[in-house]
Chain A
Amino acid sequence: MIPEPQHRSFFKSPWLWTILALVLIVAFAAFVRPMAGPSPPAEAAAAVDEPAQTAHVIAENKTLSQPQTSEIATNTIQTTEEETETSPLVADTPSSENCIACHTDEEKLQELAEEPEEVKSAEAEGEG
Chain B
Amino acid sequence: MEVWEKVLIDSEKYLEKDVHAEVGCIDCHGGTPDTDEKEEAHEGVVVKASANPMKACGGCHKSYAEGAQSSKHRVQTGYQEVLAHRGGDFTDTTFTKAYGNHCTSCHADCGDCHISRPSALGGGLISGHKVKKFASVWLTCGGCHSARITDDYRGNHEGIPGDVHWEKQGMVCAKCHTETDYHSGSHGTRYSDAPSPACVDCHEDVLPGDGVEQHDDLHLEKMDCQTCHAAGAYKSCFGCHTGIDDQDIKFFTTDPSQMTFKIGRNPLKSEERPWDWVLLRHAPATPDLFAFYGDDLLPDFDAVPTWKYTTPHNTQTVTPQNATCNNCHGQDELFLTEKDVDPAERAANQGVIVAPEDIPQYLSDQPEPVTPGEEGES
A residues in contact (CB < 8 Å) with B: 43, 46, 48-49, 51-56, 58-59, 61-62, 64-70, 72-77, 79-80, 82-104, 106, 109-110, 112-115, 119-128
Q: Which residues of B contact A77 (CB under 8 A)?
A: 69-70, 74-75
Interface size grouping (class) on chain B: 35 or more
Q: Which residues of B contact A92 (CB under 8 A)?
A: 22-24, 27
Q: Which residues of B contact A123 (CB under 8 A)?
A: 243, 245, 251, 253
Q: Determine if A104 and B249 form an interchain contact, defined as CB atoms under 8 angstroms apart.
A: no
Q: A54-B100, A55-B100, A99-B31 are in contact. List 16 more A-B contacts (CB 8 A).
A: A43-B44, A46-B46, A52-B97, A73-B187, A83-B52, A85-B58, A86-B55, A95-B26, A99-B25, A103-B25, A113-B3, A119-B249, A120-B249, A121-B250, A125-B253, A128-B254
Q: Determine if B100 and A56 form an interchain contact, defined as CB atoms under 8 angstroms apart.
A: yes
Judged by a CB distance under 8 angstroms, whether B273 is at the interface is: no
Q: Determine if A82 and B55 form an interchain contact, defined as CB atoms under 8 angstroms apart.
A: yes
For B38, the closest partner residue in chain A by CB is A112
**What is the 8 Å Cβ interface bit string for chain B, positions 40-58, against chain A (1 contact, 0 not)?**
0100101010011111001
Q: Which residues of B contact A87 (CB under 8 A)?
A: 55, 58-59
- Known pairs A74-B70, A83-B52; A94 contacts B75 (CB<8 A): no
Q: Determine if A106 and B8 form an interchain contact, defined as CB atoms under 8 angstroms apart.
A: yes
Q: Quick check: which of B84-92, B171-179, B319-327, B365-373 contacts chain A, the rest being far away?
A: B84-92
- Known pairs A46-B52, A49-B51, A51-B105; A109 contacts B7 (CB<8 A): yes
| B57-80 residues at the A interface, CB under 8 angstroms | 58-60, 62, 65, 69-70, 74-75, 77, 80
B75 to chain A, nearest CB (A): 5
Q: Determine if A125 and B38 form an interchain contact, defined as CB atoms under 8 angstroms apart.
A: no
Q: Total A-B residue pairs with C-beta atoms closer than 8 Å? A: 220
For A103, the closest partner residue in chain B by CB is B9
Judged by a CB distance under 8 angstroms, whether B256 is at the interface is: yes
Q: Which residues of A contact B243 (CB under 8 A)?
A: 123
Q: Which residues of A contact B251 (CB under 8 A)?
A: 120-121, 123-124
Q: Determine if B84 and A72 form an interchain contact, defined as CB atoms under 8 angstroms apart.
A: yes
Partner of B255, one of A54, A61, A126: A126
For B97, the closest partner residue in chain A by CB is A55
- Known pairs A59-B93, A67-B84, A70-B187; A95 contacts B8 (CB<8 A): no
CA distance A80 to B52 in the complex (A): 9
CA distance A92 to B69 in the complex (A): 27
Q: Determine if B8 and A89 form an interchain contact, defined as CB atoms under 8 angstroms apart.
A: no
Q: Which residues of A contact B247 (CB under 8 A)?
A: 121
For B42, the closest partner residue in chain A by CB is A99
- Known pairs A67-B90, A103-B7, A128-B254; A51 contacts B34 (CB<8 A): no
| B1-27 residues at the A interface, CB under 8 angstroms | 2-4, 6-11, 15, 22-27
22 A-B residue pairs with Cβ-Cβ distance under 8 Å, sorted by A, are A43-B44, A46-B30, A48-B48, A48-B52, A51-B107, A56-B96, A58-B90, A70-B77, A73-B77, A90-B27, A93-B27, A94-B26, A95-B34, A99-B26, A103-B9, A104-B15, A110-B2, A112-B38, A121-B250, A121-B251, A123-B251, A126-B257
Q: Determine if A64 and B91 form an interchain contact, defined as CB atoms under 8 angstroms apart.
A: yes
CA distance A109 to B1 in the complex (A): 13
Q: Determine if A99 and B27 form an interchain contact, defined as CB atoms under 8 angstroms apart.
A: no
A27 to chain B, nearest CB (A): 38
Q: Determine if B100 and A51 form an interchain contact, defined as CB atoms under 8 angstroms apart.
A: yes
Partner of A98, one of B4, B35, B59: B35
CA distance A121 to B90 in the complex (A): 26
Q: Which residues of B contact A104 (CB under 8 A)?
A: 8-11, 15
CA distance A80 to B54 in the complex (A): 11
